[in-house]
Amino acid sequence: MAMPADMKEESLTLDGKELTRVRKQLLAKYPSKVARKRDKQIVVNRVTPDGKVPEIQSNVRTVPGLISQRGCCYAGCKGVVLGPTRDIINITHGPVGCGFYSWLTRRNQTDPDSTPDGHNFMTYCFTTDMQDEQIIFGGEKKLRQAIQEAYDIFKPKAIAVFSTCPVGLIGDDVHSVCREMKEKLGINVFGFSCEGYKGVSQSAGHHIANNGIFTHVVGTDNTVQPGAFKINMLGEYNIGGDAFEIERLFEACGLTLISTFSGNSSIDKFANSHTADLNLIMCHRSINYVAEMMEKKFGLPWIKVNFIGAQATAKSLRKIAQYFGDEKLIARTEAVIAAELPEVEKAAAEIRPRTEGKRAMLFVGGSRAHHYQELFNELGMVTLSAGYEFAHRDDYEGRRVLPSIKVDADSRNIEELEVHPDETRYQPRIPKERAAELKSQGLQFADYEGMMPEMAQGSLIIDDISQHETEKMIAMFKPDIFCAGIKEKYVIQKHGIPMKQLHSYDYGGPYAGFKGAINFYQEIDRMVGSRVWSYLKAPWQKNPELAAKYACD
């Protein structure tokens, strides 16, 4: 399809800079092979009238030596997805490091007293502390013993085992050890082959984690909870208490939250999650698989929601009410929005004069780089450039491209579960006609449009940004705020540019929902307005000639 003249890359500028030149500068220093690869991961956004965007290469290997933001498969599996579930003993099978680094370092808050047994193992780190003896003779015996000791000392309901790099290489069969111990102990014991070298990023680990939870946990408790409007929240990890704020809104609206995967979460609730009537997907990248599999097996549909941003929160709540179609629920939802939104809008209006027109860059995660643009928009700020650390093409371009995504060798190694409707428990939650009707009214099931269609023409999209490209972007654009993670934080700030961590929220939050939006506005106001950025030069550095003059006198 021919592009309209003004949408050709050559004619597009970003913040006054010609984009062809910007792209050239980003790639200029790379060896040619690297430049060719990165070229496909750096894309100028162009949205056609029917919402199509250019293809961006993503979910491909990181170039050795290039310094990327990414972590590994284990981090995605143990650290991200299973880590926030408080009542499982998560044993890292491997040398001590992996368990140590993933010990309390993500800010998944949890309230153990919200489940009757009060179990909470999230403050603990369990590891087999593999030694050279196990590398040589195998680690299964030690793993078996470790599971036994964990059971004897802590009497947990469930134990999960996470494989680190050497485990796969020496050939330990963690799954058979887990099966054996499950039988022996009479509790749920399951393993994950999430060795760090699998896949190309954390994303592989999310997938492996989801497969494991779906296989070993979901659907193991058929108790039907009371409640008229039952939902699961998927891909909400309760960083800084986000899930608590979302839970508050659900309760106010009269929705019953069956389970959250996985923030403030409990394995008991995962077990029961198939009894809900609707799955809400927050982080599409990390967890869309679970929603897909639950729909196939149990008949729960899913919709994409976003509780980052006040308007997005209101929209998401309305979508849920629209799905259930209950007049009282709709009215109550509208009442909650009407009660909460004015205060948020007031806060935004007060801050906006100080943030209007400021320019942001977001390079983070698998959904946050998209979601947080909402909050910046509400402050009148512009997102010049954004990209994900570990997302796939569908997170950028929308699920419409799913059929055209080529599965490469790295992804093929990650198992795809074959899921069929459950013989007794499959039950479509809404009739086809009703689904079609809702669709015609604009409620999209099982869909995510991706980040790019919502971004401005000419924004620069960079997948798996490198340290070098980060430096170049800072030098060329000098953004007013940059968002990434802890590894990037102080690099950016040494330039005198505030850097907001969107993994850990810089230990603040919540930023979700209505109250969270106000927190975020205030935080950004603080950061872009902080006096500290004006202290970089000493008086004698600002006016060196004056000193010379006095010396002459």
Using the rule CB under 8 A, give the single segment among 90-98, 299-307, 335-343, 510-518 that binds other proteins: 90-98
Select the span of 59-67, 281-289, 347-355, 373-381 touching other proteins (CB under 8 A): 59-67
Minimum Å gap between C-beta 196 and other proteins is: 4
Rounded to a whole number of angstroms, the minimum distance from the CB of residue 307 to other proteins is: 26
Q: Which of 8, 100, 222, 436 contacts other proteins by CB under 8 A?
A: 100
| Among 41, 58, 68, 355, contact with other proteins (rule: CB under 8 A) | 68
Among 51, 138, 166, 325, binds other proteins (CB under 8 A): 166
The residue (of 448 and 482) whose beta carbon lies closer to other proteins is 482
DSSP conformation class of 29: T
Per CB under 8 A, contacts with other proteins among 304-363 are none
| Residue placing its CB nearer to other proteins in the complex, 282 or 527 | 527
Q: Are 103 and 233 in contact (CB under 8 A)?
A: no
Identified catalytic residue from 23, 38, 46, 72: 72
Q: Locate tokens 């008086």: which residue?
A: 539
Q: Let me know: does 238 contact 248? Beta carbons within 8 Å.
A: no
As beta bridge partners, residue 88 has 158
Minimum distance from residue 155 beta carbon to other proteins (Å): 9
Are 531 and 483 in contact, with CB atoms under 8 Å apart? no
Whether 75 sits among the annotated catalytic residues: the reply is yes
Minimum Å gap between C-beta 161 and other proteins is 12
Q: Given the rule CB under 8 A, which of 183-191, 444-452, 454-462, 490-498 is the region that contacts other proteins?
A: 490-498
Among the listed residues 7, 96, 330, 417, the single contact to other proteins using CB under 8 A: 96
CA distance linking residue 234 with residue 218, whole number of Å: 13
Range in contact with other proteins (rule: CB under 8 A) among 113-121, 173-181, 227-235, 434-442: 113-121
What count of other Cβ atoms lies within 10 Å of the Cβ of residue 235? Answer: 28
142 binding other proteins? (CB under 8 A): yes
Please name every residue paired with 484 in a beta bridge, in sequence order, or none if there are none: 501
CA-to-CA distance for 82 and 168, rounded, in angstroms?
A: 20
> Out of 206, 285, 368, 503, which one is annotated catalytic?
206
Using the rule CB under 8 A, is 135 a contact of other proteins?
yes
Q: Which residue in 120, 256, 311, 522 binds other proteins (CB under 8 A)?
A: 120
Are 76 and 285 a contacting pair, CB within 8 Å? no
Binding mask 523-542 for other proteins (x = CB under 8 A): -------------xx-----
Residue entry with tokens 């969107």: 502
Considering the rule CB under 8 A, would residue 163 count as an interface residue with other proteins?
no
* Count of residues that interact with other proteins, criterion CB under 8 A: 92
Around Cβ 56, how many Cβ atoms within 10 Å?
25
341 sits in which H/E element:
helix 327-355
3-32 footprint of other proteins as x/- string (CB under 8 A): --------------------------xxx-
**Torsion, CA 224, CA 230, CA 235, CA 237, rounded to 10:** -80
Contact 480, 497 (CB under 8 A): yes
**Residue reference for tokens 């399809």:** 1
Q: Give yes or no: 106 in active site.
A: yes
**Cβ partners under 8 Å of residue 348, min gap 6:** 310, 378, 379, 517, 521
Span from 182-190, 222-230, 366-374, 493-501 in contact with other proteins (CB under 8 A) = 493-501
188-192 vs 158-163, strand pairing mode: parallel
Give 257: exposed, middle or buried? Use CB within 10 Å, 0-12, 13-18, 19+. Answer: buried
- In the region spanning residues 371 to 430, those forming contacts with other proteins, defined by CB under 8 A, are 409-410, 413
Q: What is the rounded CA–CA span in Å between residue 28 and residue 16?
A: 20
Among 40, 184, 494, 526, binds other proteins (CB under 8 A): 494
Amino acid residing at 533: W
Kindly indicate which of the ranges 8-16, 138-146, 181-189, 237-245 contains the residues binding other proteins, using the contact rule CB under 8 A. 138-146
- Distance, in Å, from the CA atom of 133 to the CA atom of 142, rounded to the nearest integer, reads 10
Instruction: Give the gyration radius of the chain's Cα atoms.
Output: 25
Other Cβ atoms less than 10 A from the Cβ of 551: the count is 7
Which of 173, 334, 345, 471 is in the footprint of other proteins by CB under 8 A? 471
Report the helix count and the strand count for the chain, using DSSP H and E.
23, 16
Site residues (CB under 8 A) for other proteins, limited to 183-212: 195-201
Q: How far is the CB of 322 from other proteins (least distance, A)?
A: 41
Exactly one of 5, 49, 116, 132 binds other proteins (CB under 8 A); that residue is: 132
Position 52, amino acid: K
Span interacting with other proteins, options 262-270, 324-332, 351-359, 466-474, rule CB under 8 A: 466-474
Binding other proteins (rule: CB under 8 A), the pick from 13, 118, 338, 436 is: 118
Q: Smallest gap, in angstroms, from Cβ of residue 494 to other proteins?
A: 4
The reply on whether position 165 binds other proteins by CB under 8 A is yes
Tell me whether residue 378 or residue 463 sits nearer to other proteins (CB atom): 463
User: Is 321 marked active-site?
Assistant: no
495 makes contact with other proteins (CB under 8 A): yes
Give me 187's structure tokens: 């509790």
The one among 34, 185, 330, 419 contacting other proteins by CB under 8 A? 34
Among 25, 57, 105, 215, binds other proteins (CB under 8 A): 105
Compare residues 229 and 390 and give the one whose CB is closer to other proteins. Answer: 390
131 binds other proteins (CB under 8 A): yes
Question: How is 437-493 classified by DSSP, letter by letter?
Answer: HHHHTT--SS----SGGGSPTT-EEETT-BHHHHHHHHHHH--SEEEE-HHHHHHHH
Contact status, residue 219 vs residue 422, Cβ threshold 8 Å: yes
Given the residues 73, 75, 98, 291, the one annotated as active site: 75
Alpha-helical segments (H) within 155-241: 165-170, 174-185, 202-216
Is 206 in the active site?
yes
Catalytic residues: 72, 75, 106, 206
